[in-house]
Amino acid sequence: MQGQRYEPFAHHFPLSQFLQQLLNGLFLGSIYALIALGYTMVYGVLRFINFAHGDVFMLGAFTGLYLHKLLGPMMAMMPWPVAMLVILLLAMIICAAAGILIEFLAYRPLRDKPRLNVLITAIGVSLLLEYTAQLVFGATQQPFPVIIPKGNIGGLGGLTVTITQVIVLVTAVVLMIALRFIVMKTKLGMAMRALSLNPTASALMGVNNSVVISFTFGLGSALAAAGGILYASLYPSIEPFMGVLPGLKAFVAAVLGGIGNIPGAALGGLIIGVTETLVAGYSDTLGIPSGYRDGVAFVILILILLFKPSGLLGKAEREKV
Partner 1 sequence: MKHHTSHFALLLALAVSLGVSLCSSQLDDYYLDIMLNVGINVILAVSLNLVNGHTGQFSLGHAAFMAVGAYGSSMVTLEMGASMMRVLGGAGPVAESVTFLVALLVGGVSAAVCGWIVGMPSLRLRGDYLAIVTLGFNEIIRVVLQNTNGDGPFGGALGLKGIPAYTSFFWVFATAAIAIYTIGALVNSTYGRGFLAVRDDEIAGESMGINTTRYKVLAFVIGSFFAGLAGGLYAHLRTTISPEGFNFLKSVDVVVMVILGGMGSTVGVIVAAVVLTVLNEFLRDFEQYRMIVFSLLLIVMMIVRPQGLLPAGLFQRRKRA
Amino acid in position 183 = V
Half-sphere exposure of 240 (CA within 13 A, CB side): 15
Nearest distance, CB of residue 229 and partner 1, angstroms: 25
Nearest distance, CB of residue 133 and partner 1, angstroms: 10
Pick from 14, 143, 149, 295 the residue near partner 1 by CB under 8 A.
295
Distances (CA, A) of 37 to 68, 222, 268, 314: 26, 11, 10, 14
Ranges within 44-83 binding partner 1 (CB under 8 A): 48-49
The count of residues interacting with partner 1 (CB under 8 A) is 46
Pick from 116, 151, 154, 200 the residue near partner 1 by CB under 8 A.
116
Q: Does the protein bind partner 1 through residue 134 (CB under 8 A)?
A: yes
Number of Cβ atoms within 10 Å of the Cβ of 286 = 13
Distances (CA, A) of 7 to 2, 3, 13, 15, 285: 13, 12, 10, 14, 15
Name the pairing type of β-strands 237-238 and 152-153: unpaired
Stretch binding partner 1 (CB under 8 A), from 154-162, 172-180, 260-268, 304-312: 304-312
Looking at residue 147, the DSSP 8-state letter turns out to be -
Stretch binding partner 1 (CB under 8 A), from 67-75, 81-89, 143-151, 243-251: 243-251
Pick from 211, 298, 308, 315 the residue near partner 1 by CB under 8 A.
298
- 275 to 294: interface string for partner 1, x by CB under 8 A: --------------x-xx-x
Distances (CA, A) of 186 to 44, 75, 193, 204, 218: 17, 33, 11, 20, 15
Pick from 135, 177, 178, 197 the residue near partner 1 by CB under 8 A.
135
Stretch binding partner 1 (CB under 8 A), from 124-132, 144-152, 194-202, 265-273: 124-132
Stretch binding partner 1 (CB under 8 A), from 86-94, 156-164, 198-206, 245-253: 245-253
Residue number, 142 or 162, with CB nearest to partner 1? 142
Pick from 111, 113, 308, 315 the residue near partner 1 by CB under 8 A.
113
- For helices 262-281 and 15-46, the axis angle rounded to 10 degrees is 140
Q: How far is Cα 134 from Cα 153, in angstroms, rounded to an integer?
A: 37
Ranges within 153-182 binding partner 1 (CB under 8 A): none
Query: 12-48: string of b/e by CB count within 10 Å (b at 16+)?
Result: eeeeeeeebbbbbbbbbbbbbbbbbbbbbbbbbbbeb
Q: How far is Cα 233 from Cα 165, in angstroms, rounded to an integer?
A: 9
Which residues bind to partner 1, rule: CB under 8 A? 48-49, 106, 109-110, 113-121, 123-128, 130-132, 134-135, 244-245, 248, 251-252, 255, 289, 291-292, 294-295, 297-299, 301-302, 305-306, 309, 319, 321
